[in-house]
Structure 1
Amino acid sequence: MAYQSTHIESGFGRNLSSLVAIVRGFFKSIGTAMIVSSSYNARAQMVQKLQAKSDEELAAMNIRREEIVHHVFRDLYYV
């Protein structure tokens, strides 16, 4: 007795998985942008807090007024 099987590749599975990958990548990039944005917002707030301090308070922290931005972003940029 012979059995015959026919398998037709519709491509739907491949298209669906590539669509899922595209959507996943889209949301991943949005999440990354939100994390980066919140990090920079926190740093901008730190810059504002330090700029609001007096020169004496900054001197006690060993920071000069013109070095505030460099101090806050020192782990991201090497100048």
Structure 2
Amino acid sequence: MANTITFDKPRLSVLGRLAAPFVAAGKVFALIAEASPRVRELERLNGLSDAELARRGLTRDGEIRRILGVAAMI
């Protein structure tokens, strides 16, 4: 006697189906934002320690203002 196993795809609820396009759009917007040169520069800055910044004569706050420009003031 042979046994078979079937796997059903999980069904999305009505709300899940309605939210799916918005979730997808949010993921696309996140990918676009992460591709930004400013975001890449902030990630590089985040990888530096405060001691390394001090050796370079920089401050984290000053670098954030340099990278973001006017947007840092908001």
TM-score w.r.t. structure 1 length? 0.40
